[in-house]
Amino acid sequence: MNKNELTPKPAVIKNIIDETADTKTFTLVFTDPEEQKRFQYKPAQFVEISVLGVGEAPISITSSPSQQGFLELSIKRVGKLTEVIHQLKPGDEVGIRGPYGNGFPADELKGFDLLFVAGGIGLAPLRSLINWVMDNRQDYGKVKILYGARTPGDIVFTRELTRWAGEPDTEVLYTVDRGDPQWQGNVGLVTQLLHRIELTPATYTAFICGPPVMIPFVIKDLLALGFKEENIISTLENYMKCGIGKCGHCLLGGKYICMEGPVFRYNEMKELGFGE
């Protein structure tokens, strides 16, 4: 048996959801049922997805570990590989290896109130943790979800945003940078939503995921509200080419993001030179 850790496992596309004009969510199942059973992951871990003869790229797992028998990847069309993936249909095969990364500390968060702040496709890895929390709702306190997109047409997971808002002790607010004639919701940066909710920073752990330019501003506002550095958790982006700490592409501050990240608490991010 080939046990090369860089060898992808074949997986079949079972379903595709068009989230926006340039983002699709793919439901995948490994062709080997035993491989599917072995595949266990944490929220915010990622896989390397490949198309033979085209290339490979790291993509966050957006499904929740509480949902067994498949995995979901939400992929934005941004280059050659993702363009090819967007042309695939149910029944087509891709390669998957992983999962990689440390993931969100879901078990450590039991009993805490949770704040999620997402921008754009950054809602994808947070969706994994949010659905984990919703599937284990009795283990967690209040939940507040703040989401920002460029335009109404760029909002992902619209059905789930509505469903989450209907869950007990859960508040969901979202905004767009630019509205359109039909948009009647909030317009402005996602950080503005922080001032529209009631929360006690001492009881909350905050999770941030979105464009790199967004994250420092959210962290600054959370600190101003009184959040402790260790209670602010975010993801760091760096090109994770191999996923197993061999190639060195994602080395930052002496740590391999693909292995010791991509999830870090803010006090850890500062040690890596974040914000300097």
The class level of CATH for 107-235 reads: alpha beta
Rounded distance between C-alpha atoms, residue 26 and residue 18, angstroms: 9
Binding annotation for [2Fe-2S] cluster? 242, 247, 250, 258
Lowest mean pLDDT among 3-17, 53-67, 173-187, 245-259: 245-259
Contacts 24+ apart (CB under 8 A), 215-218: 216/274, 216/275, 217/189, 217/191, 218/117, 218/190, 218/191, 218/194
The CATH code of the domain at 9-100 is 2.40.30.10
DSSP 61: B
Lowest mean pLDDT among 7-11, 91-95, 259-263: 259-263
Residue boundaries of the structural domains of the chain: 9-100, 107-235
Query: Residue holding tokens 């009881």?
Result: 203
pLDDT in tens, 65-105: 999 899 999 999 999 999 999 999 999 999 999 999 998 98
Band (pLDDT 50/70/90 cuts) for residue 2 is very low
pLDDT in tens, 199-257: 999 999 999 999 989 999 999 999 999 999 999 999 877 666 777 777 777 777 777 77
Binding annotation? 242, 247, 250, 258
Lowest mean pLDDT among 6-15, 54-63, 97-106, 247-256: 247-256
Query: Which has more pLDDT, 261 or 155?
Result: 155
DSSP 228: -
Band (pLDDT 50/70/90 cuts) for residue 9 is very high
Band (pLDDT 50/70/90 cuts) for residue 1 is very low
